[in-house]
Structure 1
């Protein structure tokens, strides 16, 4: 989908769902990584993450468009346009927009963690970085820590 098609799609959804025109610019912003879209308060433009369309499909992308249009129309009307405002929550529910964009890629997995155990109480600790065992002690019994080595652990 190109910029012109996106602009027409946003204008169409705005008229069909909100019965109000969208009179500003809607563009794809490939620099967006963790969000589906953005609404700019000063210019009233909308930015959209092209990965949402590529990875999650058209249905999810339309939900993101509805979400951003809720910000747009509520702000222009002078109503509560922020996520925490009741006006926003109510309108988002009415138009069946997405509250959150689903994850675009899987979470990072830490492969290797340093494993330590306490000599006294055998409490186990995992750390991303190696620690100085002469300086740090067990948080439960103040016993000395012993390095067991690296261990592969999947973290979600």
Structure 2
């Protein structure tokens, strides 16, 4: 799918689900990393993360587009377009759009590859950290026992 096909899809979804036209630009933004899409307040354009199409499929991307269209239409109508607003929550439920997108599997694997595990020598309490700690300086928060470095976690998926 390219930007032209995305533009057509956004326009179709806007007409079908919102009964309103989408008069601005929709495009893929390769710089988006942790979010499915975003609505730009000043230009009224919508940017979508293409990785969601590749890793999660068309249905997930359609949900993201509907979510961004909720921001778009409510902002144009000068209603509550932010996540915390009742107008936004009501419109999300009305069109069947998710409030938040699911995390990408590729990002979850990267996150777990950076997890370091420590274990208390006395009480066997397990600690997982992203950064290394000095085991000579830090102790167990539960029993003040000695921490033992266990290494990086591999193959574990976090939900």
Question: Which consecutive aligned stretches of 4+ in structure 1 deviate over 6 angstroms post-superposition?
Answer: none
Aligned to 1:126: 127
Aligned to 1:150: 150
What RMSD, in angstroms, separates the aligned Cα atoms of the two structures?
2.3
Aligned to 1:73: 73
Deviations 1:1-36 (A, max 9, x none): 111111111111111111111111100011112111
Query: Are 2:32 and 1:32 aligned?
Result: yes
Residues 112 and 87 of structure 1: is their aligned pair in 2 closer, same or farther, counting only changes over 3 Å?
Answer: closer
Structure with larger Rg: 1
Q: CA deviation at 1:141?
A: 5.2
Query: Is the contact between residue 135 and residue 148 of structure 2 (CA under 8 Å) also seen in structure 1?
Result: no
Q: TM-score, normalised by structure 2?
A: 0.80
Report matched runs for 1:57-136 at 5 Å: 57-105=57-105, 107=108, 108-109=111-112, 112-118=116-122, 122=123, 124=125, 126=127, 128=129, 129-133=132-136, 135-136=137-138
CA distance in 1, matches of 2:82, 2:68: 11
Residues 3 and 155 of structure 1: is their aligned pair in 2 closer, same or farther, counting only changes over 3 Å?
Answer: closer
More helix by share: 2
- Structure 2 unaligned spans of 5+: none
- Structure 1 unaligned spans of 5+: none
